[in-house]
Structure 1
Amino acid sequence: MKTYCSMISAANVRSFKQLLKASLIIQVSLLFLLGCGSSNKYVNISGATMGTTYHVTAELLKGASQVQIQAAIDRRLREINQSMSTYIDTSKISEFNRLPVGQSLPIDDDFVDVFQVSRKIYDMSNGAFNPSVGALVDLWGFGPEYRMQDTAKIPSDADIAKARAEMGFADIMLDGNVLTKRTPVHLDFSAVAKGYAVDEIAEVLNQFGITNFMVEIGGEVSTRGNSPRGDYWRIAIEAPDKVREKYPTTLNLHEASIATSGDYRNYYEVDGQRYTHIIDPVSGRPVTHGLTSVTVIADDVAQADAWATALLVLGEDAGFQLAKDVGLAIYMIYHTDGGLDAKYTEAMKDYLLIKE
């Protein structure tokens, strides 16, 4: 890795340190390998959003204002957060979650777009991606209502059953820009909102006439055109030595939408048992299989984001089979008796930098 001149980690640093300390798994992250030939025409823009950070590397056109571009990006991110952040009491999603059963709520276009993407992946994954797990997310300590502490008790079977009763994504009716709650459902778009925000920042850059750029929020990525080197954007899937020795781990990308979901990004331990933020809608509990990370390339980052979560819920076998069935480009890292291993679909080969 020392041969690269510029490297931006899209991983959560705190999670990475916790992971190494716990010696549980080796984190998979995205590293943006910008190379040594960066031109002055390219600028880096960054800021805070959605509990993480965003990074933009873009070719600044003559006469364009970096200040104006960042202001437009920040304004767009505030709009998206106000629509679908469960951490904002006045957001549209928080308003929906408080809505009594049987009532309707006018929603903004961002909410409509994310709802429709979510419904699509919900249907295609047979419910593995289910944004109505909000009550379960809160119950297990990963939502805005309650942050699990080391001394916390694990939810009882009765509490889990009660939270599962608040699921029902298929029961929500969307009619134009009006959403109707027909059951006591609790929405959480955290597994798709970052990806959607990346797509929307890319659209902001397009509006400024920028065609060469990379956008990243919390590991979800959109690339267009050329990197500062004048060719592909190179995005490395960080992996343990054993995996890097056996498989290619660098992606060569021009026009691509990428998302990674991992069970290492948000978790806690109670009495030696590890609990991840990835909730299985069927069991109502955090997943316990051996799949630790999924990287997905899709038509847009919102879909890639949702698919990454769906496949991580399903596990390495069922998830890999579904990815093959629908033609997804994915890269999985998973536990085996001999340590961590990896596999990827045929569709992913088109993006991997494979050394001859």
Structure 2
Amino acid sequence: MVGTGAIFWATALRAQTRDVLQIEGPAFGASWRIRIAAGADAGAIVSAVNGIVTSVDGAMSPFLPMSEISRFNRMETLEWVPLSAQTHTTIREAKRVATLTRGAFDPTLGGVAGRYGFGPMTQQPAGTFGDLELGAQSAKKAHISQTLDLCGIAKGHALDRIATALKTLGHASFFIELGGEVYALGHHPAGRPWYAGIERPEPQSAALQRVVAVDGEALATSGDRVNRFDFNGRSYGHIIDPKLKRPADTPLACVSVFAPQAITADALATALFAMGPEQGISFANREHIPALFVVRDASGLREVMTANFSTRIIG
């Protein structure tokens, strides 16, 4: 699996009818779900999705010793290392978002997360995202012990590939959920937009924080509701603060982000959560990123929306 603790934040709202076909299966320790007009070739869709999930897992899972990224991490070399197209694409976007966020998203900190129990990597990080060089179809470490952890972005890459596969199969309207991340295109067979529910970030809560319309874009959420633990009166979540090299200690409960591609929404949601509310909200406004910040304060949960996130809200 690409990562642990998949966050089940967003989902298609229950509206199963005989006009809608729902297909689902396992992925990355969580699940995938597709809703599409009845009559679609379910076998072709399942085959395409399973192939993508297996491919991404085999390339980027740190839990698989023989995955491409695990082998890259073990290599003690400063020479150029050839990469598959999918791993190269994912690292390139990871570096772009890392640069854009000034390191709030840093794919070289897997060892820090692992030492807190969030993943299999426990090596002391060597260097930063800026040290890693990318060639046309290769990468080169700046330190022989440098490692990469793509768990904060690989699921988004997989979601984008699933969306492309459905388009290639001739579908122009569908809803995909992959481990809590969503991509939707077109309209529900009933003629309305596709709706997604963002869960309220409270333990054991079944309530929704917001319902949004999704069309031609992705929605990703990062938070500490699921993948966390408490110790000596303090909570520790899986999202790392790159500046402090420890789990982010923030009043944020969750951050939801819209972006044209899931790979970007995935990484940005992680970065904005790591930044915390003040810096994250300022950054999202400055970069015109549609985001919903849910902040814990003395009165409970408080919402802040940036860019035009509010225009997607249904309820």
Mark yes or no: TM-score above 0.5.
yes
Following the alignment from structure 1 to structure 2, what is the Cα–Cα distance between the partners of residues 264 and 176?
39
In structure 2, list runs of 5 or more residues that go unmatched: 203-207
Amino acid at match of 1:351: R
Larger radius of gyration: 1
User: What's the offset of the Cα at 1:163?
Assistant: 2.4
The reply to whether residue 319 of structure 1 matches residue 280 of structure 2 is yes
Offset from partner CA, 1:180-234 (integer Å, 9 cap, x none): 1121321111111111111111111111101110111111110001113221011
Following the alignment from structure 2 to structure 1, what is the Cα–Cα distance between the partners of residues 73 and 295?
35
Following the alignment from structure 1 to structure 2, what is the Cα–Cα distance between the partners of residues 177 and 248?
42
Amino acid at match of 2:132: I
The reply to whether residue 51 of structure 1 matches residue 33 of structure 2 is no
User: What's the offset of the Cα at 1:270?
Assistant: 1.9
Following the alignment from structure 2 to structure 1, what is the Cα–Cα distance between the partners of residues 217 and 250?
29
SS in 2 for 1:44: strand
User: What's the offset of the Cα at 1:285?
Assistant: 0.8
Q: State the match for 1:282 in structure 2.
A: 243
From 107, 129, 135, the counterpart of 1:169: 129
SS in 1 for 2:63: coil
Q: State the match for 2:140 in structure 1.
A: 180
Q: State the match for 2:152 in structure 1.
A: 191
Following the alignment from structure 1 to structure 2, what is the Cα–Cα distance between the partners of residues 108 and 285?
31
Offset from partner CA, 1:64-89 (integer Å, 9 cap, x none): 53112201210111111111110111
Cα distance 1:74–1:312, how it changes in 2: closer, same or farther (>3 A)?
A: same
Following the alignment from structure 2 to structure 1, what is the Cα–Cα distance between the partners of residues 209 and 138?
46
From 288, 310, 315, the counterpart of 1:349: 310
Amino acid at match of 1:317: E
Output aligned runs, 1:260-275, within 5 Å.
260-275=221-236
Following the alignment from structure 1 to structure 2, what is the Cα–Cα distance between the partners of residues 72 and 250?
29
Output aligned runs, 1:159-308, within 5 Å.
163-164=124-125, 166-183=126-143, 184-239=145-200, 249-308=210-269
Q: State the match for 1:115 in structure 2.
A: 91
Following the alignment from structure 1 to structure 2, what is the Cα–Cα distance between the partners of residues 47 and 197?
14
SS in 2 for 1:68: helix
Amino acid at match of 1:53: S
Following the alignment from structure 2 to structure 1, what is the Cα–Cα distance between the partners of residues 11 and 45?
24
SS in 1 for 2:308: helix
How many matched pairs? Answer: 305
Q: State the match for 1:99 in structure 2.
A: 75
Q: State the match for 2:61 in structure 1.
A: 85
SS in 1 for 2:147: coil
Cα distance 1:56–1:307, how it changes in 2: closer, same or farther (>3 A)?
A: same
Following the alignment from structure 1 to structure 2, what is the Cα–Cα distance between the partners of residues 310 and 346?
17
In structure 1, list runs of 5 or more residues that go unmatched: 1-11, 16-27, 147-161, 242-246
Q: State the match for 2:205 in structure 1.
A: none
Amino acid at match of 1:52: A
Q: Give the share of equivalent positions with the same residue, in percent.
A: 28
The reply to whether residue 71 of structure 1 matches residue 47 of structure 2 is yes
Offset from partner CA, 1:71-112 (integer Å, 9 cap, x none): 121011111111111011111100111011413321101011
Q: State the match for 1:142 in structure 2.
A: 118
Following the alignment from structure 1 to structure 2, what is the Cα–Cα distance between the partners of residues 335 and 89?
39
Cα distance 1:240–1:303, how it changes in 2: closer, same or farther (>3 A)?
A: closer
Offset from partner CA, 1:306-348 (integer Å, 9 cap, x none): 0000000000110010000000000011111222111111311
Following the alignment from structure 1 to structure 2, what is the Cα–Cα distance between the partners of residues 282 and 344?
25
SS in 2 for 1:327: coil
Q: Is the 8 A contact 1:248 1:353 kept in 2?
A: no
Q: Is the 8 A contact 2:197 2:209 kept in 1?
A: no
Following the alignment from structure 1 to structure 2, what is the Cα–Cα distance between the partners of residues 31 and 199?
17
Amino acid at match of 1:181: K
Q: Is the 8 A contact 2:201 2:253 kept in 1?
A: no
User: What's the offset of the Cα at 1:353?
Assistant: 2.1
Which runs of at least 4 in structure 1 moved beyond 6 Å after TM superposition? none
Q: Is the 8 A contact 1:192 1:306 kept in 2?
A: yes
Q: Is the 8 A contact 2:199 2:209 kept in 1?
A: no
Following the alignment from structure 1 to structure 2, what is the Cα–Cα distance between the partners of residues 310 and 81?
23
Offset from partner CA, 1:226-247 (integer Å, 9 cap, x none): 1132210111223379xxxxx9
More moved, 99-108 vs 218-227: 99-108
The reply to whether residue 30 of structure 1 matches residue 30 of structure 2 is no
